[in-house]
C-alpha cells in the first residue's frame, strides 16, 4: 500500500512517515499543496493523508479539485483545526475521515487500515497458506496467530508468492462480522 502524506510541519511529517513505514506502508511525503497535486497526477496512491493549512495551495482546495476530477482515493484529513465548521468543510469537500492534531500514531495507523478496509470491502480476499494469513486490505501478516512486521517491499513479495494459483486457498474476510 502506497500512501501520500501532505504535511508542511517537518516534525509531524517525519514522525507520521516513520510511524507508517514501520507499519509496513510505503509513504511519499510532500510539504505543500502544489507538490501534492503533482505527486497525485504522477503516481498511483492507495490513500491521501492531507493537512489543511499548507503553503502554495490549501488542503481543502487540493481535496476539492481531486473530487472534481472524479478521483475517489480515500482521504484522511490531519489538521490542527478542530472547529466544527472546519470539520464539516473537510467532509463536505469529500474527505473520508478526520484526525485532529495532536494525534496518536497508533490511532492514525488504525484509521488508515480502517479506511483501506472500507474501500476494498470484503471482495479483497484474505490469503491463507497453512498457518500464515495475509490480509491485502490491511497489509497485515500473521503466523500462528501472531502478527509479523514486514516492510512494504517484503509484504509485496510474500503476497505475490502466496497468491500463486494452486498454492493457496482464499477465504472471505469475515473477522469484521464477528461480534463479541
Q: From the CB of 147, what's the least distance to Ca ion, in Å?
A: 33
Q: From the CB of 60, what's the least distance to Ca ion, in Å?
A: 12
Q: Would you say 1 or 78 has its CB closer to Ca ion?
A: 78
Residue whose beta carbon is closest to Ca ion: 53
Can you say whether the dihedral through the CA atoms of 149, 153, 157, 162 is positive or negative?
A: positive
Q: From the CB of 106, what's the least distance to Ca ion, in Å?
A: 22
Q: From the CB of 51, what's the least distance to Ca ion, in Å?
A: 4
The contact set with Ca ion (CB under 5 A) reads: 8, 51, 53
Angstrom CA distances, 18 to 4, 25, 69, stand at: 13, 10, 30
Q: From the CB of 33, what's the least distance to Ca ion, in Å?
A: 10
Check if the beta carbon of residue 29 is closer than 8 Å to that of residue 17. yes
Q: Would you say 51 or 140 has its CB closer to Ca ion?
A: 51
Give the separation between CA 17 and CA 36, rounded to whole angstroms.
15
| 49 three-state secondary structure | strand
Q: Would you say 102 or 145 has its CB closer to Ca ion?
A: 102
Give the separation between CA 105 and CA 17, rounded to whole angstroms.
10
* 139 phi, psi to nearest 5 deg: 70, 25
Q: Assign residue 177 a region: left if phi > 0, alpha if psi is -120 to 50, beta otherwise?
A: alpha
Q: Would you say 53 or 114 has its CB closer to Ca ion?
A: 53
Give the separation between CA 27 and CA 11, rounded to whole angstroms.
15
Q: Would you say 40 or 116 has its CB closer to Ca ion?
A: 40
Amino acid at each position: 500500500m502506497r500512501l501520500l502524506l501532505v504535511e508542511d510541519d517537518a516534525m509531524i511529517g517525519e514522525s507520521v512517515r516513520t510511524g507508517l513505514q514501520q507499519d509496513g506502508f510505503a509513504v511519499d511525503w510532500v510539504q505543500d499543496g502544489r507538490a501534492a497535486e503533482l505527486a497525485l497526477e504522477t503516481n498511483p496512491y492507495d490513500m491521501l493523508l492531507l493537512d489543511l493549512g499548507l503553503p502554495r495551495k490549501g488542503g481543502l482546495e487540493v481535496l476539492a479539485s481531486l473530487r472534481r476530477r472524479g478521483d475517489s482515493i480515500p482521504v484522511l484529513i490531519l489538521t490542527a483545526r478542530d472547529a466544527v465548521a472546519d470539520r464539516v468543510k473537510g467532509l463536505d469537500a469529500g474527505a473520508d475521515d478526520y484526525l485532529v492534531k495532536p494525534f496518536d500514531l497508533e490511532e492514525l495507523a488504525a484509521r488508515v487500515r480502517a479506511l483501506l478496509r472500507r474501500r476494498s470491502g470484503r471482495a479483497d480476499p484474505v490469503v491463507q497458506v497453512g498457518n500464515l494469513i495475509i490480509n491485502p486490505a490491511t497489509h497485515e501478516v500473521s503466523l500462528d496467530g501472531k502478527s509479523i512486521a514486514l516492510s512494504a517491499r517484503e509484504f509485496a513479495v510474500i503476497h505475490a508468492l502466496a497468491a500463486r494459483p494452486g498454492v493457496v486457498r482464499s477465504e472471505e474476510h469475515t473477522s469484521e462480522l464477528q461480534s463479541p
